[in-house]
Amino acid sequence: MQATAVDLSVQLGRLRLANPVVTVSGTCGYGMEYAPYFDLARLGAFTTKAVTPEPRIGNEPDRICEVRAGMLNAIGLANVGLEAFVRDKLPELPKLGCPALVNVAGHSIDDYVKVCRALDPLPGIAGLELNVSCPNVADGLVFGTDPGLLRELVTAVRGVVRRALLIVKLSPNVSDVAAMARAAIEGGAEALSVINTLLGMAIDIDEWRPMLANGTGGLSGPAIKPIAVQMVSRVYRAVARDVGVPIIGMGGVQTWEDAVEFLLAGATAVGVGTALFIDPTTPGKICDGLAAYLQRRGLASVRELVGQLKLGEGGSSARPGPAAG
């Protein structure tokens, strides 16, 4: 049989991505750090580390701690700040060879508006991702856990973002992620990243202290994947599908099989984060695996997977079988 090329491209709102694999903010620096290890042009898109109005040195070490099937981090949004980002990092972004998304963080609505207003007109930025869910700074979770505040924040930013795709990254540390998704979309989000890290803690039993200097940190890695898949599915079905807002699904993705799960759950693109620390060539391997999977299934495009999860109305499996009883 003749092997036909499958189409891996996806449409993330107004952005066309060559494939659905996106690097996750905070796990891939500002761009060129991974250039020695793999061809960044093979990515669907790249997401920078968070940019705040002023430079931040971040939290005291220890900043990370490995846990079973995952890791905790409390970096504290260490970054060079808006001015140095524009001067030193932005000129590097075109070298990536793929669309660049810039993650934006702040303490107040004014902070986000200031950074987004400055970055939006600059060339080389395809999208702005609002980090409203960093669990490692004093008030980082406030915007990410209060729907009213989130709507207000996104509305304010929407007013100054004209060119770049506006993405909001949701926190899983809420009782109903769909309510947050709705608030972000009402504010004007064009895409959603689901999910950020889960708040966690690990304890040194010799010292009776937290393993992280910050006390708590964000849990990432394969440990959180089932939670992330569930939240993508929930956001997709409850909110995003009906209004046509695409989701970047992320949380513990390590293999192409993981990516397929996220796509079926309703993600249009899939973020790879913690896995990059272990193997920076993971995105290429996922693309290869996805292409082979589509071919085996006789599918022409990766888009045919998005949201195809078979799920009954009550959330039960719609798998046919003998009736219970």
Is 65 catalytic? The answer is no
Among 13, 39, 42, 58, binds another protein (CB under 8 A): 58
Is residue 61 part of the contact set for another protein (CB under 8 A)?
A: yes
Give the Å distances, CA to CA, from 11 to 7, 14, 174, 245.
12, 7, 28, 11
Is 159 a binding residue for another protein by CB under 8 A? The answer is no
In the bound state with another protein, the residue whose beta carbon lies nearer, of 61 and 94, is: 61
Instruction: Determine the residue type at 87.
Output: R
Cα–Cα distance, 70 to 53 (Å, whole number): 30
- What x-and-dash track marks residues 252-291 binding another protein by CB under 8 A? ----------------------x-xxx-x-----------
Name the nearest CA neighbour of 218 among 261, 175, 172.
172
Burial label for 220, CB within 10 Å (0-12, 13-18, 19+), is buried
User: Does 226 engage in binding with another protein (CB under 8 A)?
Assistant: no
Q: Binding to another protein (CB under 8 A): which residues in 2-31? A: 26-29
- Choose one: 3-11, 58-66, 184-192, 256-264; the region binding another protein (CB under 8 A): 58-66
Q: Indicate the residue among 44 and 70 with the shorter CB distance to another protein.
A: 70
Q: From residue 78, how far is each of 56, 114, 155, 243 by CA, in Å?
A: 5, 18, 26, 35
Nearest residue (CB) to another protein, 33 versus 54: 33
Chain center to CA of 121: 23
- The set of catalytic residues is 134
Instruction: Point out which residues bind another protein (CB under 8 A).
Output: 26-29, 33-34, 37, 49, 57-58, 61-66, 68-71, 73, 75, 78, 221-222, 274, 276-278, 280
